[in-house]
Amino acid sequence: MAHGLALHGRPRAALRLIRRIPRPDAAAFYAALKACHVSCLAAPARALFLRIRDPRPEHVVLFAGALARAGQLAEAAALAAAHRHLRVEILRAVIDGCRIAGDLQLGRSTAEQLLELDPLSADNYVLLGNAYAAQGRWKMVEKMREMARDLGLKPSKACSWIELKGKVHVFAVGDVAHPRSQRIRWEARRLMAAPVGGSDPETGDGLAGFALHDVDEERECVVGGHSEILAVVFGVLSTPETALVRVTKNARLSRPCHSAIKRISEAAGREVLLRDPLRFHHFRHGECSCGDVW
């Protein structure tokens, strides 16, 4: 239950549950640290971590992630130095913290360290390439792609999917293969342009460069053509007006898409539950359960 509450944006409720356990085990500490991690809570995470007599690797990585996401990047980086066998996982957590803090310089240098440590991971070339793209260093972006191609590495592509009536509908960036593609795109443009009470969707997200998919591919496509927008709008068109729209994405949401789905939720009067690799985003009345930090 605590883990589920953490994933759905209710960290305080998750931590209250954990406090009711007389002797928390490894799984309970994991759930509590997960709550701190997804909600960027450094102080509770530190208190929890100090209570664990024999921390497991997943505890250390979650603690480092909570610190990094709360902006305590130096302390998170120190954990990477202290736990050399977990350096790759912790450095990824530091990069995530750089994304939230807006520290492009540290994010790029950390991605460079990550590539040196694990040069056979396609994701590391994508991370560093996207960090260069966020700084407008396009020659370096192409260099990263060439290096990955020369090694035969294939980075993952972002996609989103929705299940309706027992059938899974999968959408990629700029997808036009779906039979209702034209209607979906038209409806996406209409909903994102509709007058609503909230602010307009953000159009820039340089910090999304610290992601494990090719965000440069998404930059070449308008927000309305991103996979999660296509899946959400298809769900709005294909389900009853009172139904919850459930979508899954294999990569972290970009900030423009997050803002766009908030707008779509409000304009269409629909609730949207979107799962990405980190958590659930529950959009309702133009707001999201993550509090705009993920």
DSSP string, 39-87: TT-HHHHHHHHHH-SS--HHHHHHHHHHHHHTT-HHHHHHHHHH-GGGH
Q: Residue 250 and residue 173: Cα distance in Å, rounded?
A: 12
Encode burial over 223-241: b for 16+ CB neighbours within 10 A, e otherwise: bbbbbbbbbbbbbbeebee
User: Is 9 domain-assigned?
Assistant: yes
pLDDT of 60 reads: 97
Residues 118 and 6 placed together within one structural domain of the fold: yes
pLDDT of 138 reads: 87
What CATH number is associated with residue 121? 1.25.40.10
Domain limit, last residue, from 150, 176, 197: 150
Cα end-to-end span (Å), the chain: 20
User: Is 103 domain-assigned?
Assistant: yes
Residues 166 and 93 placed together within one structural domain of the fold: no
CA angle at residue 61 from 83 to 281, to 5 degrees?
165
Residues 108 and 134 placed together within one structural domain of the fold: yes
Residues 86 and 38 placed together within one structural domain of the fold: yes
Tokens of 245: 């729209």
Residues 198 and 106 placed together within one structural domain of the fold: no
Q: Residue 119 and residue 153: Cα distance in Å, rounded?
A: 10
Length of the chain: 294
Residues 209 and 265 placed together within one structural domain of the fold: yes
Residues 131 and 172 placed together within one structural domain of the fold: no
pLDDT of 206 reads: 46
CA Rg value for the chain:
20
Q: Residue 127 and residue 211: Cα distance in Å, rounded?
A: 6
Q: Residue 114 and residue 247: Cα distance in Å, rounded?
A: 31
pLDDT of 219 reads: 54
Residues 167 and 100 placed together within one structural domain of the fold: no
The range of the structural domain enclosing residue 43 comes to 2-150
pLDDT of 4 reads: 93
Q: Residue 186 and residue 8: Cα distance in Å, rounded?
A: 31
Tokens of 53: 């007599």
Low pLDDT (below 70) residues in the chain: 195-224
